[in-house]
């Protein structure tokens, strides 16, 4: 966590979207989290961390999330599909990203600011 690696906006957006999609299935509204992306590492204030290798993020609880095209597949069997600004999760929830904000159907909101993601 010593150095924040500067990456391109498009790459950061892709990582942010993967992070938001992956976190959508990992937490409930009772477990708000704020996460920071440093290079290929993700650190969240609720103790969750992960490392992205290629299109897969490996989480510290032993689970993983892989992005293939517009789909994200989680090792627990859940998945999501992105269509335009909307993401549809296999558990029936959905979200819409507008600018730097992602609004979830369960009332949660995440805001991406630089290399950080803040969720309520």
Q: Domain range for residue 15?
A: 9-119
Residue 21 pLDDT class (50, 70, 90 cuts): low
Structural domain includes residue 24 = yes
Residue 106 CA to residue 110 CA, distance in Å, equals: 12
Q: What is the pLDDT of residue 16?
A: 53
Output the 3-class SS for 66-87.
EEECCEEEECCCCEEEEECCEE
- What is the percent of the chain where pLDDT is above 70? 73
Structural domain includes residue 3 = no
Whole-Å CA distances, 116 to 34, 75, 110: 7, 24, 10
Q: What is the pLDDT of residue 5?
A: 30
Structural domain includes residue 17 = yes
Residue 104 CA to residue 33 CA, distance in Å, equals: 14
Residue 23 pLDDT class (50, 70, 90 cuts): low
- Collapsing DSSP states into helix, strand and coil, what is residue 9? helix
Structural domain includes residue 107 = yes
Domain total in the chain = 1
Structural domain includes residue 2 = no
């Amino acid at each position: 966590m010593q150095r924040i690696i500067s990456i391109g906006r498009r790459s950061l957006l892709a990582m942010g979207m993967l992070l938001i999609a992956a976190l959508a299935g990992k937490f409930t509204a009772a477990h708000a989290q704020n996460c920071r992306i440093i290079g290929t590492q993700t650190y969240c204030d609720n103790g969750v961390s992960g490392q992205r290798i290629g299109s897969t993020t490996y989480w510290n609880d032993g689970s993983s999330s892989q992005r293939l095209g517009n789909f994200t597949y989680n090792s627990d069997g859940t998945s999501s599909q992105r269509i335009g600004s909307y993401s549809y999760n296999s558990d029936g929830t959905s979200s819409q990203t507008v600018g730097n904000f992602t609004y979830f159907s369960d009332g949660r909101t995440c805001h991406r600011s630089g290399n950080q993601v803040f969720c309520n």
